[in-house]
Amino acid sequence: MKDAPTPADEALRIRNLRELDVLYSPAEERFDRITRLACRLFNVPIALVSLVAEDCQWFKSRQGLDADQTERRVSFCGHAIMASDVFLVPDATLHPDFSDNPLVTGDPFVRFYAGMPVSTPDGHNLGTLCLIDHMPRTFSEKEKQTLRDLAHWVENELRASGSAPLDEAERRAGLDPLTQSWNGLGMERLIRDELARASQRGSDLSVVGIVVTNYGEIGKEWGSIAGDRVLQETALILRQMLRPGESICRASTAEFVLVLPGSSDLAAARLAEKVSLKFASLHPSPESRVSTIAVTTSHAGVAGLETGSDGAVGAGLLARLHAGT
């Protein structure tokens, strides 16, 4: 196996990547929309927005893959960022650089790979939009152009990214890899920071709570894997209902909290109702092996809470949420 090489512009590339503030951030619908479309357009099981950091490739968006990152040295994308155009491996088992790669000999059993670098305006390749198939295949010039177009879309979304609400160390500690959402620690820090912003701007902040009430039953009947799939499906549905700037957190095992900067308690109540209606009419995917996902919702806003430190107000906001008032 040939390890992924290091580009000549590595220091600048890494600096540009870190300045975007997207590493170890939760999944976002604006990127997931691109990878879902890529899977449909190219009829592949796996599509990724992969960002190549110092020691790993980390997936800002992923379809068809549970892992949120892999080692950089074994990554195909680590090779692809050396290119200026589509990097293509029609059959990895026949390629001298990849035939004994652990991503080929083991899960996810890569056979076909196509990756288009995503770059900064001055040409530093930060990662790729890539496609993976479990079977060898060819890739036409028309398909290459479509992949280029989608990669340019990814570049535009990366450039449109605002400053992340947490620094990189906080994001690493605060991310739930199963649902690609903030975990409980990340939620506390996020609410703390959003409260500070709301105070500075004189704006509202509200939260919506969602509990998957039949999660325990699902685990008993179908096992932990099915339970995990339901949590992933729940997070995906909730993410698609959010507006830019709003966040989803997995507060505990089967509880999610939506953090809504700029939204009043009334707006949060309306969203909670929409969430309830959405899940009541839901037909889960066959992969979940579950006939229904049952949820309860609650909502709360900061209006009327006693002032104090952002941490204390945040605790009061969550207490109000859990009280259902």
Range of the domain at 316: 168-323
**CATH code where residue 258 lies:** 3.30.70.270
Phi/psi for 203 (5° steps) reads -110, 170
Phi/psi for 233 (5° steps) reads -65, -40
**CATH code where residue 18 lies:** 3.30.450.40
Residue 176 shares a structural domain with residue 301: yes
Residue 108 shares a structural domain with residue 176: no
Q: How confident is the model at residue 298 (pLDDT cuts 50, 70, 90)?
A: confident
How far is the C-alpha of 104 from the C-alpha of 81, rounded, in Å?
19
β-pair type (255-261, 247-252): antiparallel
1 assigned to some structural domain: no
Predicted pLDDT of residue 292: 76
pTM of the model: 0.84
Residue 149 shares a structural domain with residue 205: no
Q: How confident is the model at residue 325 (pLDDT cuts 50, 70, 90)?
A: very low
How far is the C-alpha of 8 from the C-alpha of 13, rounded, in Å?
9
- What tens digit of pLDDT does each residue of 58-80 get? 999 999 999 999 999 999 999 99
Query: Angle at CA 265, nearest 5°, toward 260 and 266?
Result: 115
The percentage of the chain sitting over the pLDDT mark of 90, rounded to a whole number, equals 67
Predicted pLDDT of residue 44: 98
Element (H, E) at 70: strand 69-71
Q: Is the pLDDT of residue 30 over 80?
A: yes
Q: Give burial (CB, 10 Å; 0-12/13-18/19+) of 11.
A: exposed
Q: Is the pLDDT of residue 290 over 70?
A: no
CA distances (Å), 8 to each of 111, 125, 144, 212, 301, in order?
28, 11, 26, 49, 50
How far is the C-alpha of 54 from the C-alpha of 137, rounded, in Å?
31
Which residues, other chains included, contact 272 with Cβ-Cβ below 8 Å and sequence gap of 6+? 208, 297, 298, 299
CB atoms within 10 A of CB 26: 23
2 assigned to some structural domain: no
Q: Is the pLDDT of residue 129 over 90?
A: yes
Nearest to 165 by CA among 99, 261, 80: 261
Whether the CB-CB separation of 246 and 288 falls below 8 Å is answered with: no
Residue 247 shares a structural domain with residue 155: no
Domain C-terminal end among 116, 138, 159: 159
Predicted pLDDT of residue 201: 85
Whether the CB-CB separation of 314 and 250 falls below 8 Å is answered with: no
Q: How confident is the model at residue 300 (pLDDT cuts 50, 70, 90)?
A: confident
CB atoms within 10 A of CB 6: 13
Whether the CB-CB separation of 65 and 59 falls below 8 Å is answered with: yes
- What tens digit of pLDDT does each residue of 215-242 get? 998 888 888 888 999 999 999 999 999 9
5 assigned to some structural domain: no
Predicted pLDDT of residue 284: 56
Domain total in the chain? 2
Which residues, other chains included, contact 180 with Cβ-Cβ below 8 Å and sequence gap of 6+? 26, 27, 62, 68, 235
Q: What average pLDDT does the segment 151-171 reach?
A: 84
Residue 180 shares a structural domain with residue 124: no
305 token code pair: 């809470």
Residue 17 shares a structural domain with residue 155: yes
Q: Give burial (CB, 10 Å; 0-12/13-18/19+) of 281.
A: exposed
166 token code pair: 């947490």
